[in-house]
């Protein structure tokens, strides 16, 4: 008789009662083997990278890193079931993607249904496509950027906007310039421009978005171009359109 393969499963949720309910509901599930429980995004992310689970049951609202920020830092995704309290933006993202989610409080039957769907998807040629689709939809749901999470080697950094001096376009990536460090993140300048406060960050050129506080002076350079001199000594190209946006932001 063939033994059904069990999905190696991680539970990542900062609330002990929620983890206890998940343990209780899954204790006799024939397709699930719980291999670990974690209470925050940092330890959960490391566990996913080290243990390579088949399935992750993941809370969205967690300290340090949210569930979506965690997934953004992964190169490959396991099957994922999200659990969440009511969050209309998050739920909208789920409804526009194929990733399953559980709205707290949820029933044992609803969890079983989600796990059964995950079992069917796991191991297929497009197993990670649902999560990839969710990440794309979730990014579009964001209206205002408040911080950025980046990975540099094995380290994770949470960058507040106050720490960022300017952004630079580099192929399909954006280079984020802080005080002394530089970080690369796969995103577009258009995405940033649409979600940053236009009074604090200005698109001065197709290649640069600069924090207004960092601009020391502007020099004319040619007929319709300028050079922005930053407090750190950098000289960045500035277009006529960038100059107009800066004037508007500073109400010159």
Q: What is the pLDDT of residues 98-141, one digit of tens each?
A: 578 888 889 999 999 999 888 887 765 555 666 767 777 777 77
Are residues 32 and 133 both part of a single domain?
A: yes
For residue 107, give its domain range: 7-141
Residues 46 and 133 grouped into a single domain: yes
Kindly state whether residues 133 and 168 are assigned to the same domain: no
Residues 193 and 210 both lie in one domain: yes
Q: Is position 2 within any domain?
A: no
**CA separation (Å) from 13 to 81, 178, 210, 229?**
12, 31, 37, 46
pLDDT at 127: 56
pLDDT one-digit tens code per residue, 48-65:
999 999 999 999 888 888
**Rounded to whole angstroms, how far apart are CA atoms 227 and 230?**
10
Q: What is the 3-state secondary structure (H, E, C) of the chain?
A: CCCCCCEEEEEECCCHHHHHHHHHHHCCCCCEEEEEEECCHHHHHHHHHHHCCCEEEEECCCCCCCHHHHHHCCCCCCEEEEEECCCHHHHHHHHCCCCEEEECCCCHHHHHHHHHHHHHHCCCCCCCHHHHHHHHHHHHHCCCCCEEEEEECCEEEEEEHHHCCEEEEECCEEEEECCCCEEEECCCHHHHHHHCCCCCEEEEECCEEEEHHHEEEEEECCCCEEEEEECCCCEEEEEHHHHHHHHHHHCC
How far is Cα 54 from Cα 7, in angstroms, rounded to an integer? 5
In a domain, 65, yes or no: yes
Residue finishing a domain among 85, 112, 141: 141
Tell me what pLDDT residue 1 has.
Answer: 40
The pLDDT confidence band at residue 2, using thresholds 50, 70 and 90, is very low
Residue 137 and residue 151 in one domain: no
Boundary of a domain, candidates 141, 158, 178: 141
Same domain (yes/no): 158, 136: no
Confidence of residue 242 (pLDDT cuts 50, 70, 90): very high
Last residue of a domain, one of 91, 117, 141: 141
Percent of the chain whose predicted confidence (pLDDT) is above 90: 59
Query: How much is the mean pLDDT over the chain?
Result: 88
Domain-located, residue 52: yes
Q: Tell whether 167 and 117 lie within a shared domain.
A: no
pLDDT for the residue numbered 210: 98
> Do 85 and 156 fall into the same domain?
no
- For residues 100 and 225, state if they share a domain: no
Q: How many domains does the chain have?
A: 2
153 and 102 in a single domain? The answer is no
Cα gap 96→133, rounded to integer Å: 9
Query: Looking at the predicted structure, is the pLDDT value of residue 223 above 70?
Result: yes
Q: Is residue 1 part of a domain?
A: no
Q: Spell out the residues 6+ positions from residue 26 whose beta carbon is closer than 8 angstroms to its own.
A: 9, 32, 34, 111, 115
- CATH code of residue 137: 3.40.50.2300
Return the CATH number at 205.
2.40.50.1020
Spatial contact of 238 and 218, defined as CB atoms under 8 Å apart: yes
């Amino acid at each position: 008789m063939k033994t059904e393969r069990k999905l190696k499963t991680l539970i990542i949720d900062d609330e002990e009662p929620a983890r206890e309910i998940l343990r209780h509901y899954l204790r006799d599930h024939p397709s699930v083997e719980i291999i670990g429980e974690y209470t925050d995004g940092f330890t959960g992310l490391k566990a996913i990278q080290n243990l390579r689970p088949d399935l992750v049951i993941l809370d969205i609202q967690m300290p340090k890193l949210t569930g979506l920020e965690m997934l953004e830092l992964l190169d490959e995704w396991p099957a994922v079931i999200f659990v969440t309290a009511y969050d209309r933006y998050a739920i909208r993202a789920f409804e526009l993607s194929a990733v399953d989610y559980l709205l707290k409080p949820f029933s044992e039957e609803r969890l079983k249904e989600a796990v059964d769907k995950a079992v069917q998807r796991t191991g297929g040629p497009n197993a990670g496509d649902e999560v990839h689709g969710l990440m794309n939809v979730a990014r579009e749901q964001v209206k205002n950027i408040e911080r950025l999470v980046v990975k540099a080697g094995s380290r994770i950094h949470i960058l507040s906007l106050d720490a960022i001096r300017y952004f630079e376009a580099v192929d399909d990536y954006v280079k984020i310039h802080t005080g002394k460090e530089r970080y690369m993140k796969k995103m577009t300048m258009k995405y940033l421009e649409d979600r940053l406060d236009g009074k604090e960050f200005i698109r001065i050129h197709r290649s640069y978005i600069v924090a207004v506080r960092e601009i020391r002076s502007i020099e004319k350079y040619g007929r319709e171009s300028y050079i922005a001199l930053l407090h750190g000594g950098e000289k960045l190209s500035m277009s006529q359109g960038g100059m107009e946006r800066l004037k508007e932001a500073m109400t010159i």
